[in-house]
Structure 1
């Protein structure tokens, strides 16, 4: 502690006429009077004179008395990364100003540094790390004193008590956290649309929130205006998918199907309830809310005009009565997961789109007679077989406007006497779906673009790799169906950091997403793997192939599944969301479950086939019932690699199941889960996504574990590929027995915890946060999905308030989770 303190005092008049020297005269021999008055006395001066009062005269002859300044910087402390630290200093009354500065350690941002109490967020560290801060007090004459304190920061931990499994009708989060319901099914997105009645009578879903909220991203806005600010955390655009509908609650008495014909008004409502929402959200003094009248709000539906980009643009298989040149399309549907592009756009994935199409018997013969028999091979591989009626019966509608084709487009049946090139009907409409669609959320007038270079499949999402200047970025994707594949697209263009802030964001998408190489993954038993390129003219991908004769690269991309089959890719247990660890670039993929995985078809990457016992009286399930999370590390840690290593981060299972053959990750009551689905890493713009151990969030969409708990979300601090070992699994079901050896990551233990449990009959899916990590947005999809108007099985979100809401129909909704103390979520 340093002392050197000044105060002003009117002294007595000097009446001593003797010649004796005064103490002030002694001081003056070494220090001039002006220097004294300006605070030139140093800490050493104080020490020499024992801290006694020192005096000098000002220009008026008044006596100035000098006292020591005293400061204290508080006690040393230890804190984990991500915590808000308050530095409290004290200074004696002589200090007219104080200031905190950082002396050493990883640099942090000090808030209120010019006060006695400054704050900062403890930075991400990989090991215990000291940070030294200095508190300085300064007098009005310029003299100062300082003291240091040390804050030791330890690596981040999951700092919450795990939420217990439950089957309550509300969202349960840990103590110290708050849940705000933000954006619900039917909420209006403009000033002229009425509030949602929630009784089935509401219309105009092109101006309301759609149903089945799913994948989601937050795009920052400047606090003072509707312009992009990637770091904005108090105002932004929330962009989210509306995957599907719970049709029983959308209408007064459920769907009308009189005579096998659907009413036009009901069908329009159902169609418009699909798609994507773009809404403005803001953080108020007490809670987050959405801005109903924002000019940036937008609904994108299955009727919204789209353009095709990339190699398949204009291909004959994309020609329809609506787009005779194959360059345009209408809408996007069954949008599941998503991706946030580094240049500020939103990518939405078309997943289970095939089920919406009708295909009458006899269609295959018409196509064959027109010389297009290979279309039948393609349609069958994507699950559009003859005799399909199409979801929700939209093609049965007779529209009031006879020229309208918004219902007819869902009928993929080829008209016998129509043009064979597909320009007179909608036989090729199924080829217009199954793509990644890029949207500019900041421009409501922009036209979404379907990126055909990324292939056509049941896209679950698209996750960009870490962006490294001069290196071609990768984009990872899963094809969500049983025994489908994992893919990556590597752009032809190396990354340029300046593109992150470009004004024409869709043009940047053209640059990175319209040309490159699409690969499919092959997993080997020894923990290695290869990326197999889907390139026309390579291997079996030629016009001479007997299974499917490819015409060109566009044909390969339109028929991605057929191409991957021929290359020998590894069939996986329903690849869903992909996520990239921002610390090390490793890619994680949820394999949600696979009821068709038999012992005979197990392999190292999909090693389990077992019987899952139930406690609710329903029949036991078999296969890989609980799913797992696989991860891979690119060779050389580069996105351009053609090979990788892999292991399984965690196997889903009930904690009470056999740990030798089922619960291979040793899960317990605090972290057991089933059917992993949503997957996301905290953003690298805040501590939760920084350092060696960023936080990963895992969401479930489960039917096998719902006899024990509603669906849930867990937080994890994962390790890395290869941190565990191998295990041999002995599988037994009624279909037979087998043995498989797999690579298992280190048992998660306390680094995996249950953070949230949702309401009845819901799925937890979709997650994003503000850049500062202090608000976490989560989607609750289809609560009460098994009920209807006469049998309401959930009252959420009305039930979230804690009051009785027994008559309220359930609604999919977006929630915001914040900490009561305003800190980072999860750590």
Structure 2
């Protein structure tokens, strides 16, 4: 979830690496299905019960003794019997101020920021670049997040709203332009030439990963518990297990793990997802750019098929790494970031040529149990994972996991479990073993969006004739298919989308929503029904922008509400746009000044109220407003109309737009400080406290200015009275209603 307008090394993975000739849509059914037929029928049978467990977790080493494993959580509270029908707050205006703005009657309080200590021994954060030991401090770039309830005696209690665990992804760390150093965590901005000092690398690596931190309400205010035995960090060095069809494959063998069954750490964690049995799925997103390849590595690999794979995942030979961590020294913890073929072995067991294959998965973590294994679920495919959303739960039927690949021109995926859902598994004592049951065996699919508002799921199987016949890459087995899911999706003609990011399932309809953040590569020649917009825009007075500048949110409804359905219906819930933009081509959702937005990214549904929270990661509209969060009350697929967009030369494209929002069903709820991204959302079960992450305020600054507060673009949260120093910090905030009521009501 990095800023789409930034062309720095940190965003190398956001580039379009999809060179396939896949059409942007399939129109196989156009001649025999009308829009009317597509949208009528089984929508009335949409799901009403899903996601039986609703908390997230993280796991890993910590300095404190591990608490005893908590008992399995009780089933999650049911969704509100009557979700909100109207948003009862005054919309927040657009803002360029360096502060968090929330509606009248609400209070936002900083809770947990970069560098905050999470062990009794860790000292207060000085925030001047002198602090280290991030293994026992909050990491950077707070991202996807969930809340896990705790009872007064420290047991799992999914109904508890006064005490719980926050599980927070730490996606990345701030650095400007093509600089390598994480400027704000070094005294004078860090070293941007190679080799990087080992001490700087050792400081930066654990800024990534996840935090688990206890939070507790005292009176009316939440605070985090610094010395909680539940607190812990996981980092790119934490041991993990590989699980699923690719575990033990030759593609996963490295010098660290010659059996291909284990690996080190998780990286670039972005969105999250909750399993029905009460664990976290955390997505490894843009991890490729952390690795380098030698300038002659293609020849060293004899130009074998691994070269094709590496290029498809954004690692050409000679590719520079994001931070230069591979230059920190001879130790394996530095060498692993260089994925060049250096050894003489045939299988890669004497170097790190296969290290890239061990990243790019959904990683399952148990919130309460430090001793539980962390498992990368390889069967669900390797790509730039954002969040994960689960289908409805039906006793005796399989469940589905929905996923997006965050890069321009990439795909939307679905996993269907082989095992049928058993309600007893919601309270299974061994949550990770339950994950083995549902996430290791099943089928992986990719989406095709048809021009008539229908869609189909195409299985990515070694037995698929199109995959067997692929000419640019020869798949050996199913492990090869999932490790190279992008290439398999290319082979079956999946629909290229406008940068799929977060996904979320509506708690009552069961329909699945996907944010398509933006796509500067979209042209008038490549528009299609599901990605229908190309337009030119001017930012400020000079900057020209084109493509799908402001992004949109697409949603799908499985036929008959079945998780294993082979087909679906779709429309566009919202098109991002400036309020004053052309309504025939750009502002297709008729957004007003209280609703307009650009680059929807984070997406999350409240189970207490049914509200859809939409968060932006924008560069296109930031001359008018900082990034923001909106609250929406969506309808359902098919509640709007078909619209025809016309382009120069006579080209037209039909698309399907959901019912236009009203002032009661979509409002701006929050605007963040300067140069930030809004991302990550969680709430207490009673819906009275909303946790939100403010990522990388003021990140666009040269490391030469890291010690000069007068040059900072943002000084948040210190200017909100939180913590020492003036260097900007990513942070978690908690929002409450001043009258103690439910958020949004």
Aligned to 1:513: 439
**Which one has the largest radius of gyration?**
1
Equivalents in 2 of 1:198, 1:774: separation in Å? 31
Aligned to 2:713: 793
Task: Tell me if structure 1 keeps the 8 A contact 2:79–2:508.
Answer: no
Aligned to 2:162: 234
Aligned to 2:559: 635
Q: Which of 358, 365, 390 is the matching residue for 2:321? A: 390
RMSD: 1.6
Count of aligned residue pairs for this structure pair: 654
Tell me whether 1:256 sits opposite 2:201 in the alignment. Answer: no
Aligned to 2:498: 573
Aligned to 1:193: 122
C-alpha deviation, 1:468, in angstroms: 2.1
Aligned to 1:341: 275
Tell me whether 1:773 sits opposite 2:687 in the alignment. Answer: yes
Matched position secondary structure for 2:513: strand
Matched position secondary structure for 1:391: coil
Q: Which of 505, 516, 538 is the matching residue for 1:613? A: 538
Equivalents in 2 of 1:392, 1:796: separation in Å? 25
TM-aligned CA distance change 1:239 to 1:661, over 3 Å = same
Q: Which of 252, 256, 267 is the matching residue for 1:322? A: 256
C-alpha deviation, 1:825, in angstroms: 0.5
Equivalents in 2 of 1:613, 1:336: separation in Å? 30
Task: Tell me if structure 2 keeps the 8 A contact 1:727–1:744.
Answer: yes
Gaps of 5+ in 1: 1-120, 127-154, 689-693
Aligned to 1:41: none
Matched position secondary structure for 1:392: coil
Aligned to 1:591: 516
Tell me whether 1:747 sits opposite 2:667 in the alignment. Answer: no
Tell me whether 1:703 sits opposite 2:609 in the alignment. Answer: no
Equivalents in 1 of 2:623, 2:250: separation in Å? 49
Tell me whether 1:821 sits opposite 2:708 in the alignment. Answer: no
Q: Which of 449, 457, 463 is the matching residue for 1:537? A: 463
The CA deviation string for residues 85-124 of structure 1, in whole angstroms up to 9 with x for no partner, is xxxxxxxxxxxxxxxxxxxxxxxxxxxxxxxxxxxx9974
> TM-score, normalised on structure 2?
0.86
C-alpha deviation, 1:362, in angstroms: 1.2
Matched position secondary structure for 1:329: strand
Equivalents in 1 of 2:537, 2:353: separation in Å? 42
C-alpha deviation, 1:341, in angstroms: 1.3
Q: Which of 544, 560, 570 is the matching residue for 1:646? A: 570
Greater relative CO (CA pairs within 8 A, separation 6+): 2
Equivalents in 1 of 2:406, 2:313: separation in Å? 12
Aligned to 2:14: none
Matches within 5 A, 1:149-298: 156-222=85-151, 224-246=152-174, 247-258=182-193, 260-298=194-232
Task: Tell me if structure 2 keeps the 8 A contact 1:188–1:194.
Answer: yes
Task: Tell me if structure 2 keeps the 8 A contact 1:210–1:273.
Answer: yes
Task: Tell me if structure 2 keeps the 8 A contact 1:724–1:744.
Answer: yes
Matches within 5 A, 1:472-511: 472-511=398-437
User: Which runs of structure 1 show a deviation greater than 6 angstroms over 4 or more consecutive aligned residues?
Assistant: none
Equivalents in 2 of 1:771, 1:758: separation in Å? 25
C-alpha deviation, 1:471, in angstroms: 1.9
C-alpha deviation, 1:447, in angstroms: 2.5
Aligned to 2:60: none
Task: Tell me if structure 2 keeps the 8 A contact 1:351–1:460.
Answer: yes
Equivalents in 1 of 2:597, 2:650: separation in Å? 25
Task: Tell me if structure 2 keeps the 8 A contact 1:321–1:424.
Answer: yes
Gaps of 5+ in 2: 1-77, 175-181
Matched position secondary structure for 1:265: helix
Aligned to 1:117: none
C-alpha deviation, 1:467, in angstroms: 1.8
Equivalents in 2 of 1:667, 1:498: separation in Å? 45
Matched position secondary structure for 1:466: coil
Matches within 5 A, 1:461-480: 461-480=387-406
Task: Tell me if structure 2 keeps the 8 A contact 1:521–1:530.
Answer: yes
Aligned to 1:305: 239
Tell me whether 1:665 sits opposite 2:589 in the alignment. Answer: yes
The CA deviation string for residues 102-149 of structure 1, in whole angstroms up to 9 with x for no partner, is xxxxxxxxxxxxxxxxxxx997448xxxxxxxxxxxxxxxxxxxxxxx
Matched position secondary structure for 1:664: coil
TM-aligned CA distance change 1:806 to 1:740, over 3 Å = farther
